[in-house]
Each structure stands twice: as C-alpha cells, then as structure tokens.
Amino acid sequence: MLVSYKWLKEYIDIDEYSAKEVAEKLTRSGVEVDAIHPLNKEITNLVVGKVVECVKHPEADKLNICQVDVGEIKPVQIVCGAKNVGEGQYVAVARVGARLSGGMKIKRAKLRGEVSEGMICSLQELGFEGKLVPKKYSEGIFNFPQEMLAGEDALSPLGLDDTILELDLTPNRSDCLSMLGVAYEVAAILGVDVKVPEPAIVASKEKASDFVKVHVEASGDNPYYGATVIKGVKIGESPLWLQTALIASGVRPINNVVDVTNYVLLEYGQPLHAFDLDTFGSKEVLVRRATEGEKIVTLDESERTLSGEHLVITNGEDPVALAGVMGGATSEVNDDTVNLLLEAAYFDPGPVRKASRDLGLRSDSSVRFEKGVDPNRVAAAGLRAASLIQQLAGGEILEGPVEFDQLNREPREVSITLDKVNNTLGTQLEVEQIERIFDQLQFPFKENNALFTVDVPTRRQDISIEADLVEEIARLYGYDHIPTTLPNTPTTPGGLTTTQLKKRKTRRFLEGAGMHEAISYSLTTAEKEAHFTENVQSRVKVALPMSEERSTLRTTLLPHLLDALSYNKNRNSYHVHLYEMGSVFHTEENQVTVQPEEKTYVSGAFMGLWHEHSWQGEKKPVDFYVVKGIVEGLLSELDVNGEIRYVQYEKAGLHPGRTALLEIDGKEVGFLGQLHPSTAKEWSLPATYVFELNLQSLMEGTEENLRYEAIPKYPAMDRDIALVVDESVKAEDLQRIILNHGGKLLTRVAVFDLYQGENLAPGKKSLAFSLRYLDRDKTLTEEEVSAVHEKVLLALEENAGAILRS
C-alpha cells in the first residue's frame, strides 16, 4: 500500500509531524513502513506556463517555437519537440537554471537558430513512472487539465511536494489497505481525531428501481449488492487533485468515472465497479455462481473460462463482471458512456480468492475482497463515489440505490480482564491506561470491575479474541515498555538425546579425519538418482516443481556430493573430501499418499590425494582402504556392537570389483567403494570413492558400553605368520579361522602384509598375520603358545589350504 502523506492529512491533523516521524511511529507500533519516497527528486525552478503562441520551427519540422507566459511581463520563447503542444495550454515549464529529476540542468539553448529559454516538461521528465502517466500524456508533454495561474510554482499542483509511505502490511492488517484505515491507525498512535468524508448528493425524483432490478442467487457469497444509477454523465479527464492522488498511490488515471471508483477504493478500501448502463444488456443484475466452462472477456481483453466456484455478476443471461475481481469488457465505461450503473457490494473472500487464484488475476479489488472488507463502509463508499461522480462528471443520481441486503454489520464483542492483559504481557497496567488505549483506537467499550467489554469496529476484521486485544494494547502501550524478566517457572535440565549426541560425534569424527561437511539440496532429479538405483518409480515428487532440477526428493546423498566434487574440480580444487549428513526420503508407494520414511544418512565422497606433502614428495591418493578406514573408525566411534562384515558387492554406479556392502549382524547398513568409472565420467570426475551409511540404523544398533579393562600384568607373546593361499581366499576368512581356533589365549589378529607376484605360484598370494597370545593370570611359556599356534596352523591348512610360507 502506497500512502500519500498529503492525502492522509485530509483526514487527520498531523501537521506537527514529518512524514518520517509518522513512518517511524507506524513501524514501531506494527504497521511497517518499508520505504519513504519523497516525490520531489530535487526538482527546482518548475513553474506553470501558458502557451500563448505556438508555431512550427522554420528549419525543423518536428520542432515548435512557443511563446510561453511564465508570469512575467514578456513571455519566454521555448523550442518544444512534443507533438501535443498547442496554444492555450497550461504546461509545466522548467526555467533556465532549473534542475530536473536525475540532476539534469536546464540551460539557455539555441535550436536550429532559435533561442530556447527553458523546457516544457513531460511527466516522465518530472520523475513520474511511465506506467502511471495517463495515456493522453504518455507520448508528449503534460497539460494541466484546468485553468492555472501562469508563473505559479508547479511542484505543488503536480503533487510533487508529497511524500509517499510504502507500507509492508502483514496479512492481518488489511484495514490499512485504505487511506481511512491508515488514518485511524495514525490517529490511534498520535491520539488525534479522524475526519471521515460526509458525502452529500442531490437525488433526482426518478427511481433507480425503475431502471434496474437486483437479484442475488448466491446470497452467502454476496450478502449485499447496491446498484446506484447515474444518468447523463459526461466522461472526461479528472481534475488534477484526483489524478495526482491516484498517481501517488500507484494507480494510472483513466477518466473521471473510473478514477472516482479507484479513488474511493483507495479511500474506503471498498472496491466499486461502474458499468455502462446502456451496454449492460438488460435491466436486471443477477449475481450467481458461474456455470462450469462459462466464459467472460474481462476488461484486460482476455477471455476467461470459469467454474462453479467462481462468482459472476450477470445481466440475467451473460456474465458482465467477475465478482470482486474484474469487470467485463462489454459494459466497460468509455468516452461515449452517458448512463452508469455503479456497483457497491460485499463479496465473500472465498469465491474471490478462488477466482483470483484460478485465473491468475490479482487486482486492487480482489486483494481487498479476499481479506474481507468493512461491511459498514460498503454502502457509504457507494454514496461517496456517486457524489464525486456527480461533482466531476455531472449527471443525475436516481433515487436509490437498488439493494439486496442480508449483510451483518454488527460489531464483534470481545471481552478481556485487566489481569489477563498484565499476566500475558508481564506488565502492571492500570484500568485507566487501558481505557485510554481503547479510546485512541476508537473502540467503544464498557468497563466493569476491570473487565472490559469491547465492541470492535467492523473495520478491524482482524480482532476477534482476547489475545487480539492484548496485542492492540501491547503495541499501543509500546513493546519497549514491556519489562524484561525471566520465567518464574521451575528450571528444567536441558540437553541432547543420545541420537543427537551421536550425530555430533559422527561430525567430529569425520572432520577429524579430514573431511569437510557439505550441505546440499534435498530436491534433485530422477536422472541423477537413477545412477545409483534401478528403482526410480517409488520417489517422492513435488506436485508442481519450479524446475526439473528440483522435482524429486533424494533417496541418496551421493549425487549432490558428486555435484559438489565436480564444482570444486572446475574451480581447480582437485583433492576434495566431503561428507554430508541429511535426510533421504523413501516411499513404498508409486503415488505418494502418506508421509515417506525419512532416514538420516551420512555419506562421503573423495577425489584426488588423501595425503600430500609437496617438498617431501609424498603423495597418497585416496583408495578403497582409506575410505574403509574411515568407515571402520566411525563404527568404532559410535560403539557399534554386533558382527560387522564387509561383503564384496555389486551396485549400480559403483565399481563391481571395488565395492563392499556393510552388514551389521547380517543387516545391510550401507556401502562403500569406488565410483564406477563411467559414472565418474558422467560427473567429469577422476577416480572417486564414496560411502553411504544409514546413520539411523547404525545408531539404533549401538549402546555405550565403555568399561575399563585391567592392563595385563604378564607379557604377551607375538607370532607372525605368512600364509600362501589361493588368490580368491579372503583375508576375512583366514582371520575367522584363526580366531575360531586360537582359544582364549589368542587376543588379537591383524593383517600386516599382502604379497602377490614373484616367488609365488601363479594364482597364489601371501597374506601375513600377526597373532598375539596372552594369559592374564600368568606368564605364558613357549610350549603353551606353540600348542595353540600349531592348532591354528593346522586349521588354516585344512580349511583354507593355507600353507605357511617358508
């Protein structure tokens, strides 16, 4: 909402305050002034001039030589290029030495031999927005539409001495979508009175009801319809005060009748519509729901197809207006209009919002009806408009209006006690203070024993419960005056849950390991997902995506991590290790109907070198075992207990020979491995390694069971063995055999070497293990260890064909 400060002052006496002061006060009490625009952008030396003579320039077709009376003894000569300049016009003249908006300076000039002492201005040159300039003046200079005094300052008549307050209204304060509403608000803050217009009309003896009938079928949607008939109007240009008021409010002047309806819309917040009675098509107004597929051509020349949820004004047969949204083209007021049907109606927010939404048609009218207009201003606005039209366009107002009226105009009664106010705010207000606030708001009330019963005026549709009154009191009392306290309630222990702590632990661990945390978008594309899964059917999709790029909720964190690697690579960062912790969304349904399952995953992606030391020449590229080390470390950090297994695994998007499935107690919890080279290529990535873990199931399988274990008093004995086995034998298998046969003396087995190549038979490899034997109760003897060790070696040979390498 744009509020002209000059216009606002017609309703309230606020001369002692500057626009800036009022803006600040409005903002601090809840109606935010987003910006303050002074309309005069440094324009000086602009006067009204009268063109007393205008002849063609002898040397230039497109130029006119004008003699302009600027209130001095002799007129000044100004060369003007505008087509629409002519004798007798009152124009805006920037005199020599004047400055225009944008800092342009006017100098004495010679144009093709003719002296020009100043410039006749267009509205655009004076800083008016092109789209607000009346069509008549959009291609040339401006003419004052009325007689003026030559030489007088032109800034004020043009409204350039005004300041505009741009309000950023919250949805509840639709009352401030009108000048009167803003006036009430400012009056409440400053404690001044509001002067409401009192329109007076002279009605003719003819009855409007002889010219038009009103029938409302959809009385719920349209509880009030008032039709005023005005005969014999003369359509023309509006006076300057009206045009400047509209332009200041961001509305383009059109003609006197339309301008009046727009003016009253801005003034009362009540949208009105004027039909040309002669092209209306009947003598009957019928308000009804549209039929399915019914069509109307609206004022903006577009054909609209309607549904049964939309409300239309018809002439008994065809729709002539889309109720509350926009009028129809057929009965539009134009230069030839003589007789008017002026509509002032209350339309329910529902169908207006529906039509506006469905048809993508937002108008100054729909915006106001959608929020609910003041039922007590509907008829008053009709009267105000009729009176202004008569004043500006002449004509006879017939006795009327013709009405359909089932509108509830009763104020809402809301009660509140003093205690409730003070207990909610933490204040110690007295009855008198609250009374004063209600008085300033002009809310009629009764007070009895500190119980206030308030008749909330219908202009404040947002106030319906006691909490709303508390807010009114609080904001006018001033939020700054509310004390600062801490809750009187017993203290509570705060903290993180085990799961939340484990998420933090996971982050700490991965960061300590050298990874950066990434956060990427949850919305992705089905194609990106398809690289890692066969099943792309069961996806959660956004109904109306803004782009394909953000159409589907992710089921894996990998694609966006790969995007991030790729992004970094393109910016010359080649060694990047990222992890992300976030939700993925799985559904079993082809068409989602219930909330999908959201699981927290943690995933990582690595490219380039893991370690590098430039001058020592060390370079360690990331490989499978780097990633596995991190995963193993994380499992240990999270106290995962249960049997952890890494199973050779084939998965879409991953290298078939370098991928492992992670199982805990036989349950899949994730995978790790090298990105399939063709997948890597899709992302233009070098050798890339990834892991993806279902953190949620990892955390479920964990419990903190850290207990101190006594440090052994007796020495342990280490035996290292190198075993020759078939290449297909897995380290894990050998390890399991060793553990199964080592008895209770065997406390640790670790792989320490892998050898393939020379000195071994083809198809063989050598794996070396270190075995630690320990007896917690005494010093072990060679014989005891050897007895167990021999059993282990025998079992290795029998079960895995493992031969001790000599």
Partner 1 sequence: MLDRLQELHDEAMKKVADASDLNDLKVVRIAYLGKKGPITEVMKGMGKLSAEERPKVGQKANEVRESVTSYIEEKEKAFEEAALLEKLKKESIDVTLPGRPVSKGGRHPLTSVVETIEDVFIGMGFNVAEGPEVETDYYNFESLNLPKHHPARDMQDTFFVTSDLLLRTQTSPVQTRTMEKHEGQGPVKIICPGKVYRRDEDDATHSHQFMQIEGLVVDEGIRMSDLKGIFATFVKKYFGEERNIRLRPSFFPFTEPSAELDISCAMCHGKGCRTCKHTGWIEVLGAGMVHPNVLEMGGFDPEKYSGFAFGMGVERFAMLKYGIDDIRHFYTNDTRFLSQFTRV
Known binding positions for Mg(2+): 462, 468, 471-472
Site for partner 1, residues 661 to 680, rule: CB under 8 A: none
Which position among 408, 448, 449, 489 is part of the footprint of partner 1 (CB under 8 A)?
Answer: 489
Query: CA torsion sign, 142 to 147 to 149 to 154?
Result: negative
Query: CA torsion sign, 647 to 649 to 653 to 654?
Result: positive
* Cβ burial 286-312 (10 Å sphere, 16+ → b, else e): bbbbbeeebebebbeeeebebeebbbb
Please give the full DSSP string across 137-155, using - where no structure is assigned: HHTS--B-SS---TTSBST
The CA distance from 121 to 116, in Å, is: 13
# residues near partner 1 by CB under 8 A: 95
Q: CB of 168: closest distance to partner 1 in angstroms? A: 10
Closest to partner 1 by CB, 121 or 562 = 562
Which position among 103, 293, 493, 617 is part of the footprint of partner 1 (CB under 8 A)?
Answer: 493
Q: CB of 469: closest distance to partner 1 in angstroms? A: 10
* Cβ burial 608-645 (10 Å sphere, 16+ → b, else e): bebeeeeeeeeeebbebebbbebbbebbebbebeeebe
Q: Is 496 in the site for partner 1 (CB under 8 A)?
A: yes
Closest to partner 1 by CB, 187 or 320 = 187
Which position among 293, 360, 487, 757 is part of the footprint of partner 1 (CB under 8 A)?
Answer: 487
Q: CB of 723: closest distance to partner 1 in angstroms? A: 34
Closest to partner 1 by CB, 171 or 762 = 171
The CA distance from 197 to 186, in Å, is: 17
Q: CB of 299: closest distance to partner 1 in angstroms? A: 24
Site for partner 1, residues 399 to 438, rule: CB under 8 A: 423-427
Site for partner 1, residues 149 to 178, rule: CB under 8 A: 170-174
Which position among 115, 149, 482, 536 is part of the footprint of partner 1 (CB under 8 A)?
Answer: 482
Which position among 507, 628, 651, 748 is part of the footprint of partner 1 (CB under 8 A)?
Answer: 507
Q: Is 568 in the site for partner 1 (CB under 8 A)?
A: yes
Closest to partner 1 by CB, 293 or 483 = 483
554 C-beta neighbours (distance < 10 Å), count: 24
Closest to partner 1 by CB, 171 or 757 = 171
Q: Quick check: 742 and 718 in contact, CB under 8 A?
A: no
Q: CB of 564: closest distance to partner 1 in angstroms? A: 4
Burial (CB count <10 Å: 0-12, 13-18, 19+), residue 752: exposed
Site for partner 1, residues 533 to 552, rule: CB under 8 A: 540-546, 550
According to DSSP, the β-strands at 576-586 and 516-517 are parallel
Q: Is 588 in the site for partner 1 (CB under 8 A)?
A: no
The CA distance from 452 to 417, in Å, is: 6
Q: CB of 566: closest distance to partner 1 in angstroms? A: 11
CA distances from 560 to 94, 519, 522, 548 (A): 61, 9, 9, 15
- Where residue 588 falls (left for φ over 0; alpha for ψ -120 to 50; beta otherwise) is alpha
Which position among 103, 495, 666, 762 is part of the footprint of partner 1 (CB under 8 A)?
Answer: 495
* Region binding partner 1 by CB under 8 A among candidate stretches 408-416, 500-508, 682-690, 704-712: 500-508
Any idea what DSSP says for residue 457?
A: -
Q: Where are the beta strands (DSSP E) in 58-129?
A: 60-69, 76-80, 90-99, 109-111, 114-116, 119-120
Closest to partner 1 by CB, 554 or 789 = 554
According to DSSP, the β-strands at 224-231 and 396-399 are antiparallel
Q: Is 243 in the site for partner 1 (CB under 8 A)?
A: no
Which position among 56, 295, 446, 611 is part of the footprint of partner 1 (CB under 8 A)?
Answer: 611
According to DSSP, the β-strands at 303-305 and 295-297 are antiparallel
The CA distance from 115 to 338, in Å, is: 47
Closest to partner 1 by CB, 138 or 551 = 551
Which position among 52, 470, 530, 760 is part of the footprint of partner 1 (CB under 8 A)?
Answer: 470
Q: Which residue type, as a one-letter code, is found at position 57?
A: H
Q: Is 522 in the site for partner 1 (CB under 8 A)?
A: yes
Q: CB of 361: closest distance to partner 1 in angstroms? A: 15
Q: CB of 597: closest distance to partner 1 in angstroms? A: 9
Which position among 200, 486, 706, 711 is part of the footprint of partner 1 (CB under 8 A)?
Answer: 486
Site for partner 1, residues 742 to 781, rule: CB under 8 A: none
Site for partner 1, residues 11 to 40, rule: CB under 8 A: 27-30, 32
Closest to partner 1 by CB, 84 or 499 = 499
CA distances from 24 to 96, 182, 201, 334, 763 (A): 38, 14, 39, 42, 86
Q: Is 474 in the site for partner 1 (CB under 8 A)?
A: yes
590-609 mask for partner 1 (x: CB under 8 A)?
A: --xxxxx-x-----------
Closest to partner 1 by CB, 485 or 759 = 485
Closest to partner 1 by CB, 283 or 412 = 412
Q: Is the peptide bond before 401 cis (omega within 30 degrees of 0)?
A: yes
The CA distance from 196 to 52, in Å, is: 42
Closest to partner 1 by CB, 391 or 583 = 583
Which position among 408, 448, 449, 492 is part of the footprint of partner 1 (CB under 8 A)?
Answer: 492
H/E element, 559: helix 558-569
Closest to partner 1 by CB, 448 or 547 = 547
Site for partner 1, residues 345 to 374, rule: CB under 8 A: 349-350, 353, 370-371
Closest to partner 1 by CB, 112 or 541 = 541
The CA distance from 742 to 558, in Å, is: 42
Of 149, 81, 79, 150, give the one whose Cα is nearest residue 117.
79
Which position among 513, 530, 749, 795 is part of the footprint of partner 1 (CB under 8 A)?
Answer: 513
Only one residue has tokens 């780097």, namely 626
Q: CB of 220: closest distance to partner 1 in angstroms? A: 15
The CA distance from 198 to 395, in Å, is: 20
Q: CB of 514: closest distance to partner 1 in angstroms? A: 3
Q: CB of 660: closest distance to partner 1 in angstroms? A: 23
List binding-site positions.
Answer: 462, 468, 471-472
Phi and psi of 553, rounded to 5°?
-80, 140
Which position among 69, 185, 332, 468 is part of the footprint of partner 1 (CB under 8 A)?
Answer: 468
Q: CB of 348: closest distance to partner 1 in angstroms? A: 11
Of 59, 57, 70, 174, give the one whose Cα is nearest residue 120.
70
- Where residue 763 falls (left for φ over 0; alpha for ψ -120 to 50; beta otherwise) is left
Q: Is 578 in the site for partner 1 (CB under 8 A)?
A: yes
Site for partner 1, residues 614 to 643, rule: CB under 8 A: 614-616
Closest to partner 1 by CB, 43 or 189 = 189
176-215 mask for partner 1 (x: CB under 8 A)?
A: ----------------------------------------
Q: DSSP H helical segments within 269-376, as ranges?
A: 349-359, 364-371
Which position among 301, 335, 336, 480 is part of the footprint of partner 1 (CB under 8 A)?
Answer: 480
Q: Quick check: 383 and 201 in contact, CB under 8 A?
A: yes
Closest to partner 1 by CB, 576 or 717 = 576
Q: CB of 185: closest distance to partner 1 in angstroms? A: 11
The CA distance from 511 to 513, in Å, is: 5
User: Radius of gyration (Cα) for the chain, nearest Å?
Assistant: 42
Q: Is 475 in the site for partner 1 (CB under 8 A)?
A: yes
The CA distance from 597 to 579, in Å, is: 22
